[in-house]
């Protein structure tokens, strides 16, 4: 057997320099290397006639060399030109500094060329193609994998390294799925799968290989979820919170009337809390739908029944925000809230930990800091996690283990279609707030092209003069994160020097230290920054009521769900707010997607549309939906496999709930491995 965990540096052609670049792609071991799957393929096996060629497309052509190659010298550069023709046309091919090609092509003989076609005024050209003799298959005649995110590594280099990795494991990989599963579902065995996912012999190979890998990934997730659910459902072991404590007592003193949806959800929670069932509930609600107050009322119920509550938020800013809104109301009932984040002083922390253990703190609100071992509650009865996709199952279970079967509410602002939610969060009951509080001003959304830039900028200035603040978001550029940073920096530079030189412009970037990020966010919140430029979502739930415009650059590169999340960062105060989507390109799908954004503010409608209009799928990484991340599965494309796998997982777990039977040994290992990594299910 091969040692899949061996360091990638032992793979042929991988030196210290390349190790660093591979590490950047999260490739550390041989296993990581061979499971770094292509995002696309280039088919260099099917030639096109010249008259069928399309400008800008990478194409394989077959043609006869018309005459001997000509050569020109320009300074130090050698320019070689060759004219080829097929039965339908002529193509002019150019190479730069490839003098050795001089005598390669024999007039009258046929060759294959693969490269990018340009068509200028009807003239078909190709620059620096790779080539083969007509019956050779060195550089053409096959399907070539294209890998995602290569940083400074060239596609060719990475391809070669992966090829070397594959040679080492050839036919030596241990099967990970049970034989009966492979057979019943007509799936390829692992060795063939891994080989062909990288180097398919024909395009259909790729589909079969991918199907098997997606199947395995989703089956593992489903089994893990069911296992968790089995764990919770050692029924009737939950806390029964007091029926004497009425949620209405706190509801009646709120400064606003709860929406019907909030009330319905609270009823569901109340029922669970009073029963002896251990609650595990996903609370879904669009940005601004008022989830926080639901959490607060639930905490009230827990505390007044004699228990403590813990609220966990993904960032210190969000946690402080929650503390503020909780205290405002809960103080009136003598409920004591505290904030636990990593930046507080040691002294203060010791004090909090002590009070927590004595029961002098009723509600602890904080970040991951709450998960630390020395955080001990007197009697934790309720756990709420905000923006749940930031916390994996593991973290939820760590915090839950600080009490005796406390009730758990996981809040999420990512509206996903119900069908998908039911499968993905199979271990949770689901409550949905599908209504916004009344009198919310609709965020006006405009989709604009470059030509509108000046008007947009004038509008931004006007808003700033009226005292408002602006977010500007740029997309991450796929091939290279540094390029993403560059696009932010370029824009900031331009804003500072020219466009908005009279205003305060700052920027945020994903790779900044989180402390730095939070400081800038705080400055923005305090009103000391007029325009904040950033890449993608920094803090989903942050509340800056004074911000009135969200500008999204290259909006066509974002998923609809993500655009919706971004838009939700404005319109949180009394001011009319705007979302300006700058987009490029003429595609029909882009146009439709922009239209959806302009037409509706309803996150659930948008997520359904996202499913419908998923287009090429390229920009729709699951990350953008706040859904769990998969190595290869795409929940939107693979919903069919997901449904199938779900059925299979249920059958397996019914027969063998602990996965102890010999035939399920491999499944047990897959599930265990999954729990040992940072999982986001
Ligand atoms: P989210 O669901 O995105 O976490 P929040 O809980 O932060 O939303 O609520 C957004 C804002 O709406 C807060 O300022 C909150 O006080 C307010 N709010 C919540 N419920 C209502 C309601 N029923 N009527 C009016 N305002 C409400
Ligand atoms: Mg929130």
Q: Is the same domain home to 346 and 491?
A: no
Distance between Cα 290 and ligand 2 center (Å): 7
Q: Is the same domain home to 9 and 53?
A: no
Question: What is the average pLDDT value for the chain, to the nearest integer?
Answer: 87
| Residue among 250, 252, 254, 290 whose CB has most ligand 1 atoms within 8 A, to mutate | 290
CATH of the domain at 160: 1.10.150
pLDDT higher than threshold 80 for residue 630: no
Q: Please report whether residue 374 resides in a domain.
A: yes
**CA nearest neighbour of 223 among 176, 172, 267:** 176
Residue identifier of the C-alpha nearest atom 4 of ligand 1: 291
CA distance 442 to 457: 22
What pLDDT band is residue 314 in, cutting at 50, 70 and 90? confident
Distance between Cα 540 and ligand 2 center (Å): 8
- Domain end marker among 102, 123, 141: 141
pLDDT higher than threshold 80 for residue 520: yes
Q: C-alpha angle 229/234/238, rounded to 5°?
A: 100
* DSSP-derived pairing of the beta strands 547-552 and 47-48: unpaired
SS3 for 36? coil
Ligand nearest 388 Cα, by number?
2
Please provide residue 29's backbone torsions phi and psi, each rounded to the nearest 5 degrees: -120, 170
Between 391 and 554, name the one with better pLDDT. 554
Per-residue model confidence (pLDDT) at position 297: 98
pLDDT higher than threshold 60 for residue 681: no
SS3 for 229? helix
CATH of the domain at 535: 3.40.50.300
| Residue among 259, 292, 318 whose CB has most ligand 1 atoms within 8 A, to mutate | 292
Q: Is the same domain home to 137 and 149?
A: no
Between 237 and 599, name the one with better pLDDT. 599
| Residue among 285, 293, 313, 571 whose CB has most ligand 1 atoms within 8 A, to mutate | 293
pLDDT higher than threshold 70 for residue 680: no
Q: Please report whether residue 349 resides in a domain.
A: yes
Q: Please report whether residue 536 resides in a domain.
A: yes
pLDDT higher than threshold 60 for residue 359: yes
What's the average model confidence in pLDDT over 671-675? 77
Q: Please report whether residue 196 resides in a domain.
A: no
Please tell me the least confidently modeled range out of 95-104, 614-623, 637-646: 614-623
Per-residue model confidence (pLDDT) at position 668: 92
What's the average model confidence in pLDDT over 536-564? 81
Ligand nearest 290 Cα, by number?
1
Per-residue model confidence (pLDDT) at position 448: 95
Q: What is the pLDDT of residues 464-474, one digit of tens each?
A: 999 999 999 98
Q: Please report whether residue 204 resides in a domain.
A: no
Residue identifier of the C-alpha nearest atom 26 of ligand 1: 437
Distance between Cα 625 and ligand 1 center (Å): 22
Report yes or no: 530 and 503 within 8 Å, Cβ to Cβ: yes
* DSSP-derived pairing of the beta strands 531-535 and 505-508: parallel
Distance between Cα 409 and ligand 2 center (Å): 13
Per-residue model confidence (pLDDT) at position 232: 60
Q: Is the same domain home to 252 and 375?
A: yes
Q: Is the same domain home to 147 and 120?
A: no
- Domain end marker among 392, 412, 432: 412
CATH of the domain at 102: 2.40.50.140
Per-residue model confidence (pLDDT) at position 625: 44
What's the average model confidence in pLDDT over 57-85? 93
Q: What is the pLDDT of residues 47-65, one digit of tens each?
A: 999 999 998 888 999 999 9
Q: Residue 26 burial by CB count (10 A; 0-12/13-18/19+): exposed, middle or buried?
A: exposed
Q: Please report whether residue 179 resides in a domain.
A: no
Q: What percent of the chain has pLDDT over 90?
A: 55
Distance between Cα 594 and ligand 2 center (Å): 26
Ligand 1 atom, smallest distance to 258 CA: 23
Distance between Cα 435 and ligand 1 center (Å): 11
Q: Is the same domain home to 36 and 88?
A: no
Q: What is the pLDDT of residues 149-196, one digit of tens each?
A: 667 888 888 999 999 999 999 999 999 999 999 999 999 999 999 999
**CA nearest neighbour of 376 among 397, 395, 401, 357:** 357
Per-residue model confidence (pLDDT) at position 536: 67
Q: Is the same domain home to 357 and 469?
A: no
Q: What is the pLDDT of residues 327-348, one digit of tens each?
A: 999 999 999 999 999 889 999 9
Please tell me the least confidently modeled range out of 2-16, 121-135, 330-344, 541-555: 541-555
Ligand 1 atom, smallest distance to 325 CA: 16
Per-residue model confidence (pLDDT) at position 390: 56
What's the average model confidence in pLDDT over 419-434? 76
SS3 for 72? strand
Q: Please report whether residue 189 resides in a domain.
A: no
Q: Is the same domain home to 456 and 575?
A: yes
Q: Is the same domain home to 358 and 312?
A: yes
Within 6 Å (CB) of ligand 1, which residues are found? 256-259, 262, 285, 287-293, 413, 437, 541
Per-residue model confidence (pLDDT) at position 113: 97
Instruction: Write down how long the chain is.
Output: 681
Per-residue model confidence (pLDDT) at position 316: 84
Q: What is the extent of the structural domain holding 65? A: 46-141
Q: Is the same domain home to 591 and 538?
A: yes
Q: Is the same domain home to 28 and 76?
A: no
What's the average model confidence in pLDDT over 89-98? 94
Q: Residue 264 burial by CB count (10 A; 0-12/13-18/19+): exposed, middle or buried?
A: middle
Q: How many domains are contained in the chain?
A: 4
Between 113 and 474, name the one with better pLDDT. 113
Q: Is the same domain home to 399 and 545?
A: no
Q: Please report whether residue 163 resides in a domain.
A: yes
pLDDT higher than threshold 90 for residue 202: no
- For residue 159, how far is the Cα from the chain centroid? 25
What's the average model confidence in pLDDT over 549-553? 94
């Amino acid at each position: 057997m091969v040692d899949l965990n061996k360091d990638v540096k032992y793979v042929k052609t991988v030196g210290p320099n390349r190790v660093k670049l591979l590490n950047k792609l999260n490739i550390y071991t041989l296993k990581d290397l061979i499971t770094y799957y292509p995002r696309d393929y280039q088919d260099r096996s099917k030639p096109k006639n010249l008259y069928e060629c399309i400008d800008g497309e990478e194409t394989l052509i077959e043609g006869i060399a018309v005459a001997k190659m000509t050569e020109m010298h320009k300074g130090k550069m050698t320019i070689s030109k060759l004219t080829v023709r097929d039965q339908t046309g002529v193509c002019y091919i150019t190479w730069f500094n490839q003098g050795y090609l001089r005598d390669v092509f024999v007039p009258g003989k046929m060759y294959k060329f693969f490269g990018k076609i340009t068509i200028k005024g009807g003239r078909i050209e190709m620059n620096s193609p790779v080539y083969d003799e007509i019956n050779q298959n060195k550089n053409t005649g096959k399907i070539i994998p294209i890998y995602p995110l290569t940083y400074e590594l060239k596609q060719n280099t990475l391809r070669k390294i992966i090829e070397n990795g594959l040679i080492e494991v050839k036919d030596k990989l241990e099967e990970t799925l049970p034989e009966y599963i492979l057979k019943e579902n007509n799936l390829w065995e692992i060795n063939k799968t891994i080989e062909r996912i990288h180097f398919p012999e024909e395009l259909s190979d790729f589909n079969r290989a991918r199907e098997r890998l997606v199947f395995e990934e989703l089956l593992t997730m489903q089994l893990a979820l069911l296992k968790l659910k089995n764990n919770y459902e050692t029924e009737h072991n939950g806390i029964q919170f007091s029926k004497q404590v009425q949620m209405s007592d706190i509801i009646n003193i709120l400064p606003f009337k709860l929406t019907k949806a909030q009330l319905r959800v609270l009823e569901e929670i109340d029922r669970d809390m009073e029963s002896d069932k251990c609650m595990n509930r996903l609370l879904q609600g669009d940005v601004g739908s008022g989830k926080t107050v639901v959490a607060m009322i639930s905490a009230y119920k827990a505390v007044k029944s004699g228990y403590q509550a813990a609220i966990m938020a993904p960032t210190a800013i969000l946690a402080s925000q929650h503390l503020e809104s909780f205290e405002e109301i809960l103080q009136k009932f003598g409920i004591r809230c505290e904030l636990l984040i990593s930046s507080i002083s040691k002294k203060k922390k010791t004090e909090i930990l002590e009070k927590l253990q004595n029961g002098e703190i009723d509600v602890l609100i904080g970040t991951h800091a709450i998960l630390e071992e020395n955080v001990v509650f007197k009697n934790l009865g309720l756990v709420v996690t905000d923006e749940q996709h930031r916390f994996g199952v593991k973290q939820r279970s760590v915090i839950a283990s600080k009490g005796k079967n406390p009730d758990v509410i996981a809040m999420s602002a990512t509206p996903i279609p119900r069908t998908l939610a039911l499968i993905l969060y199979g271990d949770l009951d689901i409550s949905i707030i599908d209504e916004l509080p009344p009198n919310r001003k609709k965020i006006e959304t405009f989709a604009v092209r470059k030509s509108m830039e000046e008007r947009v900028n004038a509008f931004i200035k006007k808003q700033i003069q009226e005292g408002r603040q602006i977010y500007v978001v740029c997309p991450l550029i796929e091939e290279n994160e540094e390029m993403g940073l560059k696009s932010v920096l370029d824009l900031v530079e331009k804003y500072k020097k020219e466009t908005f030189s009279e205003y305060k412009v700052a920027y945020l970037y994903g790779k900044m230290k989180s402390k730095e990020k939070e400081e800038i966010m705080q400055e923005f919140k305090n009103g000391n920054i007029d325009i904040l430029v950033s890449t993608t979502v920094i803090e989903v739930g942050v509340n800056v009521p004074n911000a009135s415009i969200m500008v999204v650059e290259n909006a066509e590169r974002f998923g609809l769900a993500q655009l919706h999340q971004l838009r939700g960062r404005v319109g949180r105060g009394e001011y009319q707010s705007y979302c300006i989507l700058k987009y490029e390109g003429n595609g029909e799908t882009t146009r439709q997607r922009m239209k959806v954004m302009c037409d509706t503010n309803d996150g659930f409608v948008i997520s359904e549309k996202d499913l419908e209009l998923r287009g090429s799928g390229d920009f729709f990484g699951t990350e953008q939906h706040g859904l769990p991340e998969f190595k290869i599965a795409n929940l939107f494309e693979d919903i069919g496999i997901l449904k199938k796998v779900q059925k299979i997982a249920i059958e397996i777990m019914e027969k063998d709930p602990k996965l102890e039977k010999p035939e399920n040994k491999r499944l047990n290992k897959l599930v265990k491995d999954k729990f040992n990594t940072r999982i986001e299910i």
